[in-house]
């Protein structure tokens, strides 16, 4: 599978799952569904898919001789399998989710810094990273300091994932356009 398609699919899957979790308030109208359960599991899935896509992106940025195996990019998906083991332990559960979100923020900052160093036309990535930073802060600030809807951080997470995915897609297309222009220049003078 083409790396562009893989990154876009993983990013949009993560955004869809996060948006689904943010819309868990619809479960209030259906008594069979628990909104916290839907939001919690969609967060686990979305952050896992996002970190997996970010690991694949980091792998592709490395030179061929220093890349880690492609199977390592799926390690963040282990959380989906292991999450039922910690679901009853509230402190560990929130710590793991916060750690995963912090990791996604750090990776996004590193990717944005790398891409900005190469070319400053990657503004969407900065906006996505800012959304992640706000989300991370909202996740860890106690509710006693301010009142905010429960799903606000989920909406910001899904927005950040979506904006970051669109930013990567635009940046990748930008790189292809630059390469096409350079090839045209080479053939023009030949």
Asked if the structure places residue 190 within a domain, the reply is no
Asked if the structure places residue 159 within a domain, the reply is yes
Asked if the structure places residue 140 within a domain, the reply is yes
Asked if the structure places residue 112 within a domain, the reply is yes
Q: Which residues contact 26 (CB under 8 A, 6 or more apart)?
A: 35
Asked if the structure places residue 158 within a domain, the reply is yes
Alpha helix segments (H runs only) across the chain: 3-22, 35-61, 78-86, 90-118, 123-140, 152-189
Asked if the structure places residue 187 within a domain, the reply is no
Phi, psi for 111 (deg, rounded to 5): -65, -45
Q: Write down the pTM of the prediction.
A: 0.63
| Residue 79 tokens, joined | 């959380």
Asked if the structure places residue 168 within a domain, the reply is yes
pLDDT (tens digit, 0 to 9) for every residue of the chain, 190 residues total?
456 656 666 666 666 666 666 565 666 666 666 767 777 777 788 778 878 888 887 888 788 888 888 888 888 888 888 888 888 888 888 888 878 878 877 877 777 777 777 776 677 777 878 887 887 787 777 777 777 776 777 788 778 878 877 777 777 776 666 667 667 666 665 5
Give the pLDDT confidence score for residue 1 in this predicted structure.
46
Tokens 């959304």 belong to residue? 131
Give the pLDDT confidence score for residue 19 in this predicted structure.
62
Residue 72 belongs to domain spanning: 3-181
State the total domains in the chain.
1
- Whole-angstrom Cα distance, residue 98 to residue 112? 21
Asked if the structure places residue 188 within a domain, the reply is no
């Amino acid at each position: 599978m083409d790396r562009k398609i893989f990154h876009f699919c993983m990013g949009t899957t993560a955004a869809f799952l996060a948006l689904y979790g943010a819309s868990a308030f619809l479960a209030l109208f259906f008594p069979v569904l628990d909104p916290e359960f839907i939001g919690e599991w969609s967060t686990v899935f979305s952050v896992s898919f996002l970190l997996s896509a970010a690991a694949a992106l980091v792998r592709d940025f490395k030179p061929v001789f220093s890349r880690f195996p492609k199977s390592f990019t799926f390690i963040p998906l282990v959380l989906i399998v292991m999450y039922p083991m910690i679901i009853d332990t509230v402190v560990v559960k929130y710590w793991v989710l916060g750690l995963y979100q912090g990791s996604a923020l750090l990776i996004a900052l590193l990717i944005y810094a790398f891409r900005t160093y190469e070319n400053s036309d990657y503004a969407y990535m900065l906006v996505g990273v800012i959304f992640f930073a706000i989300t991370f802060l909202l996740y860890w600030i106690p509710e006693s300091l301010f009142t905010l809807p429960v799903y606000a951080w989920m909406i910001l997470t899904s927005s950040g994932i979506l904006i970051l995915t669109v930013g990567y897609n635009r940046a990748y297309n930008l790189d292809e356009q630059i390469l096409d222009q350079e090839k045209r220049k080479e053939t023009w003078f030949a």
